Amino acid sequence: MISVLSKRRAVSLSKLRCMAEGAERAARQRFKSTDSTDKNPPAGDSLKLVDMVFYGYHGVFPEEKTLGQRFSVDVTVYRDLRAAGASDALGDTSDYGLIYRQVKDVMEGKSYNLLETAAERIASNILDEDRAVAAVQLEIRKPSVPIPGALGASAVSIVRHQRS
């Protein structure tokens, strides 16, 4: 029984590696087509939501889609905060509650094979909702990684800038 499961896991890991290599090639191609300033967050003002924890069903293995697991997300939103600092008005800044709900909707909603896809959805939603946001940096951590070996988590980190 153990040898059959080990063989299945090896085949599944092989498929996972192939999928990851394909995603990596696609990401490299996207980076080639973007401006070099798009690779780093801007300097300046930011809002952060740190260690948001959600239970979701993301991953390539059937067990991940059936059983689910915890995911931890950090989001940094880059925008000018001078007006908010002067006015003390919520309308002059980004709403933490709205950002939290946007992250929650993706992480607890539709199941994705890749954390990269979930990260792209979150960044797009935040940038589309609030045009005053110059850029979004986010990291999604998956503490229970289905690979043989000891590690604290796997993580995907992206930076996306507002498009004109």
> Where would I find the H helices in the chain?
2-32, 62-67, 82-87, 96-107, 115-129
Split into its structural domains, the chain has a count of: 2
Shared domain check, 61 and 27: no
Phi, psi (degrees; rounded to nearest 5) at 49 = -120, 120
Shared domain check, 20 and 93: no
* Residue 44: CB atoms within 10 Å: 12
pLDDT tens for each residue of 94-152: 999 999 999 999 999 999 999 999 999 999 999 999 999 999 999 999 998 888 888 99
Structure tokens at 46: 């930011």
β-bridge partners, 135: 78, 161
Task: List residues with catalytic annotation.
Answer: 142
pLDDT-derived band at 41 (thresholds 50, 70, 90) equals confident
pLDDT at 34: 37
Shared domain check, 17 and 44: no
pLDDT-derived band at 39 (thresholds 50, 70, 90) equals low
Shared domain check, 131 and 61: yes
pLDDT at 79: 96
pLDDT-derived band at 163 (thresholds 50, 70, 90) equals confident
pLDDT tens for each residue of 62-92: 999 999 999 999 999 999 999 999 999 999 9
CA distance linking residue 8 with residue 58, whole number of Å: 20
pLDDT at 127: 97
Shared domain check, 120 and 94: yes
Shared domain check, 72 and 19: no
Q: What is the mean pLDDT of residues 151-156?
A: 94
pLDDT tens for each residue of 128-144: 999 999 999 999 999 98
CA distance linking residue 47 with residue 81, whole number of Å: 9
pLDDT-derived band at 35 (thresholds 50, 70, 90) equals very low
Task: For residue 67, give the CATH number of its domain.
Answer: 3.30.1130.10
pLDDT at 121: 98
Q: Give the three-state DSSP class for 114.
A: coil
Structure tokens at 162: 């507002």
Phi, psi (degrees; rounded to nearest 5) at 27 = -65, -40
- Domain extent for 82: 40-161
Shared domain check, 98 and 131: yes
Shared domain check, 45 and 29: no
Helix (H) or strand (E) holding 135: strand 135-142
Taking phi over 0 as left and psi of -120 to 50 as alpha, with beta for the rest, 149 belongs to left
Residue 29 CA: distances (Å) to CA of 26, 37, 91, 106, 162 = 5, 16, 38, 25, 19
Shared domain check, 141 and 79: yes
pTM of model > 0.85: no
